[in-house]
Each structure stands twice: as structure tokens, then as C-alpha cells.
Structure 1
Amino acid sequence: MSDEKSIPSVKFAKFYESSDMKSLSELYTEDCKMMAPGMESTIGRKAVEELFAGMKTNGIAKLDVKTEEFVVNGEYAYEVANFKQLKEDGTCIGTGKYLTVLKKVDGLYYYHADIFNLN
């Protein structure tokens, strides 16, 4: 996310696939809010790390993300996307969509609010 044209979901998917949840969580602001389906909202990078580590442990090996819209407006940006949850062999086990709000911190954009749900 070194400039306003960066789409963070590219890094996100790579970190997820390689099980690097620590680096994945660092794409988020320290006080980020995660709103995952079927769960209470959580705040902070540690919660992000735990959520995605749990998904990986439960058999979601990869995320195939297709960004539909990525708009930057000063200190904030947003991303609208669809995703597929894939097993290690590439079999699709779920689909969904998300909306994220990104916040500019020290010149870089980080996920600040993230809400997703399954189709």
C-alpha cells in the first residue's frame, strides 16, 4: 500500500495463502474494527490475526479476491469486492463479498473497518 493506487487485497491474499497472519494483520490499523458473519465485532490487529488463522485452520486454504471498486478520497479509501473460499486443491467451498474502509496513516492506507458476509 505504498501509494493510493495500491489494492491491498493482493497482499492480503498472498499473506493468507502463506499463513502469514501476522503480516496480514499489519495491513490493518491498530484500532481496526472487524465485522465477521455470525460473530460479535472485534477491535485490533490481534483479533484480525486470530480470525483469519481460525479460517485457515478450518480448511479455507486460499482466498480468491476480485476487487470491483477501489476508491481513494483523501485520508480514506474504500474497497468493494467478491471472494471465493478455496480448499488446498482449488475446490470452492464458499463465496461472499466485503466492504472495507481504509484509513491513511503516515502516508499509507490500512484497513480500518472490514465487514464481510457469505452468499
Structure 2
Amino acid sequence: MADEVKARFKKVSDAFDAGDYKTVVSMYTKDCRAVQPGKPIEVGRDAMMKGCEEAKASGMKMTSHEILHVDVSPDGEMAYMVVRMEIKMGDGSTPGPFHNTLIWKKVDGVFEVCLDTVS
């Protein structure tokens, strides 16, 4: 099951890198939450799309990521993942590195992100 979650993350990150935000957002639950420093909690796929568009407008690119940990619940219905990622902004700055924690839950048999946090 951990490999399934890793494959889903790869699909999300590949779609983000390609600017395919529709695919990115489709891999989040309808009621997903995003928690980022200095921002209120954002809820729903529309908020995720807005975040993707803001990242694009800023010129932000993920330059690398490393999955540090994945754990799946005993019933296989939920999982969490910790990812270390580095980004480059449009102005050339490289803030971070950041840690991204994702909580996944199965929806109709497929893992979708229900909580996305950055620290």
C-alpha cells in the first residue's frame, strides 16, 4: 500500500511540474484542507486550484523532493506521508527546505489527499 501512495504522490508532483493543475486538484478530496504558515486554513478543490495558480504566477518551481516516510493504516483506508522539498522562486531565491505532510484517504478505492500541510 505504501507503494500505491508513493505512486499517487509522483502523479501529483509530475502534474504540478507540468502545470496540469486540473489533474493535481482532482487528486484531492472535495473537502480537502491546506495548512500553510501565515495563511488561514484553505478548504476545498477551488482553494487548491487557487494555490496552484498563485504558485505559477510567482514563478515557483519544485526543484527536488524526497519522500521521507509513508505509513498506511492497518485497514488500508488512510495513509500519511512526509516529504522534504526544495523550491525555487521566480526571482531566483530558494527558500526552505520545506517539509510537506500529506494525509491521504481512500475515496471509492483510490487514495486522495485530504490534508496538505507545509512547514
Q: TM-score, normalised by structure 1?
A: 0.85
Secondary structure of the 1:93 match is: coil
Aligned residues of 1:4 and 1:109 also touching (Cα < 8 A):
no
Give, in angstroms, the shift of residue 62 of structure 1.
3.0
Give, in angstroms, the shift of residue 57 of structure 1.
1.2
Aligned residues of 2:80 and 2:101 also touching (Cα < 8 A):
yes
Aligned residues of 1:100 and 1:111 also touching (Cα < 8 A):
yes
Q: Could you say which residue in structure 1 is the equivalent of 2:105?
A: 103
Give, in angstroms, the shift of residue 65 of structure 1.
1.7
Q: Could you say which residue in structure 1 is the equivalent of 2:18?
A: 18
Give, in angstroms, the shift of residue 63 of structure 1.
4.5
- Give 1 or 2: higher helix fraction: 2
Q: Could you say which residue in structure 2 is the equivalent of 1:27?
A: 27
Aligned mates of 1:4, 1:19 — CA distance in 2: 26
**Equivalent residue letter for 1:78:** Y
Q: Which residue of the other structure, out of 75, 78, 82, is the alignment partner of 1:76?
A: 78
Give, in angstroms, the shift of residue 59 of structure 1.
1.5
Q: Percent identity?
A: 23
Q: Could you say which residue in structure 1 is the equivalent of 2:3?
A: 5
**Equivalent residue letter for 2:94:** I
CA RMSD of aligned residues (A): 1.8
Q: Could you say which residue in structure 1 is the equivalent of 2:55?
A: 55
**Equivalent residue letter for 1:47:** A
Give, in angstroms, the shift of residue 9 of structure 1.
2.3
Once the two structures are superposed, residues 73-93 of structure 1 have per-residue CA deviations (whole angstroms, 9 ceiling, x without a partner) of 1211000110011358xx661
Give, in angstroms, the shift of residue 61 of structure 1.
2.5
Aligned mates of 1:114, 1:20 — CA distance in 2: 18
Q: Could you say which residue in structure 2 is the equivalent of 1:43?
A: 43
Aligned mates of 1:9, 1:64 — CA distance in 2: 13
Stretches of structure 2 lacking an aligned partner (at least 5 in a row): none
